[in-house]
Amino acid sequence: MSAVRLMLYRSLSSVGPSCLLAAVLAIACTENPREVFRVKTSPADPRDEDAPFSGTEDSDCCESDSADSSDTESLPGVTEDDGPDASASTGSTETNEGTDVASDDARDAGLGTDESQTAETDEANDPGVVPLPNDDELAVLCGPAPVSNAAFTQEALREAAADCAVWHYCRFAEVAEVLDARVAAHEDEPSEGSLDAARVAWQAAMTSWSQVELFQFGPLGSRSDSAGKDMYEGQGIRDLIYAWPTTSRCRVDEQIVTESYATRGMDGALISGRGLYGLEALMFYSGSDTACTSNVVEQWDALSDAERSSRKNAYASAISDDIVQQMRQLIELWSPDGGNFRATFVGAGGEYPDEHEVMKVMAWSLVYLEREVKDWKVGIPAGYTLTHPVSGPETPHALMGTENIRANLEGFRRLFQGCGADGEGLGFDDWLAEAGHSQLANDTIDALDAAQALADVFPPLHEASQAELDELYQALRALTSLLKAEFFGAGSPLNLELPGGIEGDTD
């Protein structure tokens, strides 16, 4: 992060970061046996370690509560000597006081709130901690939301979507810079306070990223994903930053043991163990065990607690730095002064064979709501989705499920309706109106409003009852059914087809 930006943040910031760990852990320990999706299984199964589909409670938080020294010693930055203190702070309800502060911090950054953001530490006001930018600061750095008032044309819509995507990229990049600074600070001087500060920054980054998830076209997208892919210009940057559901704590542990990221660079780290998930596992998982079952275990056990903690901090720093680098590259690719992908996208050039293919790829970004959100994030714990490639819930250690969904819906609105806060500007709804299908546009927005309203008051995902999950699933389904049956498909007024692999879903 540049010095100028750091000074800007500090001068603008009025609220320091908060530590949410205690509240996070407290929430995660809430027993809800029905929800096999939201709590971890036995660490014996590496793939289920972070994917508690089958059973037992989340060991990270609960083990922290148990104040077992073997658990606390593995907290990043918290050595064996720090264990008892860390345990006390994370397990204490006293930290609830900091919840609002932390939430406000994240909200100020335009990131909304989360059920897990319920803690604060005194370190939040530590002048040595790089502050998170709030909305005003982000508006200075990235500008206001780009609202296009142009008359509809397909090119104008691409222009609006491109600007909105870049705007989201910029906002996430700014938060990621803060995250990187805080993780680096924690590596330099590990402490509870520095860890908590990094956690808060991670939560803010995660929420910001959850909006970016809806803009997976161009270099951010993947050429190989069966849904929401950009088979023409995708470079897969998204998976380098956030690869859920392809995430694994074992992959993180492998890096702790082998440190191949240090010798081969981040290319030596597979996507399932890096990016935002890698940071989450390193900063939020408190257990001292490894999620691996193969020969990594022996090497893991051979490491001292202090060595493991040191390696975790170093790897976390490498990850956060890589996220920043990836975002810089992404923004550079879009920049008129760099790769100028914006011109390629708007002009339907590059590898795109024609304008319609660009529109199709752009529209496929909306499918994220159908597959990732409806089928996986909600459909799995609700019991609707039985076949899937998902190891576990999103953000299994930070427990931000509902917050992520809220942000996903907001991202959907900004792409479908318009990039303004309330959907102002050009969006797909304008294309539908232009094609004479205003009713479909209105129906879609109504369904979106209903789903958003429900999500706004939805309890933490891991605490939701079956009835609540059913209700949210049906609300999302009402929205995505319009997408699948009318917006896309054989009868699409816009001649848009669903990506492969979406048609044969659980509906």
Partner 1 sequence: MVLKVIRTDLFGGRRHPSSLRVRWFILTVLVVRGLAAQADENPAPTPPTESTPAPEQEVPESPPTEPAPAPEPPRPEEPAPSQSLPPSAPEQSPPTETAPLPSTPAPPAPTEAAPPATPEAPPSASVPEPAPNPPSPGDTRTGDAAPSAPESPASAPPPDPEEPPVLPQEPPEVLVNVVGSRPARAPGSVQVIGSRQLERFSYDDPNAVVQQVPGVYVRQEDGVGLRPNIGIRGVNPDRSKKLTLMEDGVLFGPAPYSAPAAYYFPLMARMAQVRVIKGPSAITYGPQTVGGAIDYISRPIPTEPTGTADVGVGQYGFVKTHAHFGASTDHFGFLIEGVRLRDGGFKHLPNDGDTGSTRNDWMVKARYEPDPFAVRRHTFQLKLGYADEVSNETYLGLTDEDFRRDSDQRYPASALDQMKNHRTSMVWTHQYDDEEQKLKVKTDVYRHDYARIWRKVNGFRGAALSSVLEDPENPTNAEFFAVVTGAADGATASDTLLIGPNDRTFVSQGVQSLVSFEPTTGPVQHGIEVGARLHGDSIIRRHSQTGYVMTDGDLVPEGTAEEVTTANTAETIALALHASDALTYHRFTLTPGIRTEVIWSKLEDRLAAQTSKRQVIAFMPGVGAYYAVTEALGVLAGTYRGFSPPAPGSDDYVEPEYSINTEAGLRYSDRPLRLELIGFFNDYQNLTDVCTFSSGCLDADLDRQFDAGEATIAGLEAHAAHEVPVGPLKLPIWLSYTFTRAKFDTTFDSQDPIYGSVQEGDEIPYVPRHQFGGSVGLEHQLGGFVAGAYYVAPMREQAGRQPLAEVVATDKQFWMDAGAKVRPLDDLEIYLNVRNVLNARNIVSRRPYGARPNAPRWVQLGVRLHL
Q: Which residues bind partner 1 (CB under 8 A)?
A: 46-47, 51, 222-226, 236-237, 239-240, 243, 245-248, 250-251, 254, 270-273, 291-295, 353-354, 357, 387-392, 497, 500-501, 503-504
Nearer to partner 1, 134 or 235 (CB): 235
Q: How far is the CB of 247 from partner 1 (least distance, A)?
A: 6
> From its phi and psi, is residue 388 left (phi > 0), alpha (psi between -120 and 50) or beta?
beta
Nearer to partner 1, 417 or 492 (CB): 492
Specify the 3-state DSSP secondary structure of 159: helix
Nearer to partner 1, 349 or 459 (CB): 349
Alpha carbon distances (Å) from 235 to 82, 216, 220:
42, 10, 6
Q: How far is the CB of 436 from partner 1 (least distance, A)?
A: 23
Q: How far is the CB of 155 from partner 1 (least distance, A)?
A: 20
| N-term to C-term CA, the chain | 46
Q: What per-residue string of b and e applies to 188-205 under the rule 16 or more CB within 10 Å gives b?
A: eebbbbbbbbbbbbbbbb
Q: How far is the CB of 239 from partner 1 (least distance, A)?
A: 4
Question: 245: cis peptide before it, omega within 30°?
Answer: yes
CA–CA dist 346, 348 (Å, integer) = 6
Nearer to partner 1, 118 or 326 (CB): 326
Nearer to partner 1, 77 or 234 (CB): 234
Nearer to partner 1, 194 or 290 (CB): 290
Alpha carbon distances (Å) from 106 to 5, 197, 202, 279, 372:
18, 12, 10, 18, 24
Q: How far is the CB of 390 from partner 1 (least distance, A)?
A: 6
Nearer to partner 1, 144 or 489 (CB): 489
CA–CA dist 180, 6 (Å, integer) = 12
Q: How far is the CB of 327 from partner 1 (least distance, A)?
A: 15
Alpha carbon distances (Å) from 183 to 50, 99, 202, 312, 477:
22, 21, 9, 11, 39
Question: Could you tell me if 251 and 272 are in contact, meaning their C-beta atoms sit under 8 angstroms apart?
Answer: yes
Nearer to partner 1, 247 or 344 (CB): 247
CA proximity to 218, closest of 143, 154, 166: 166
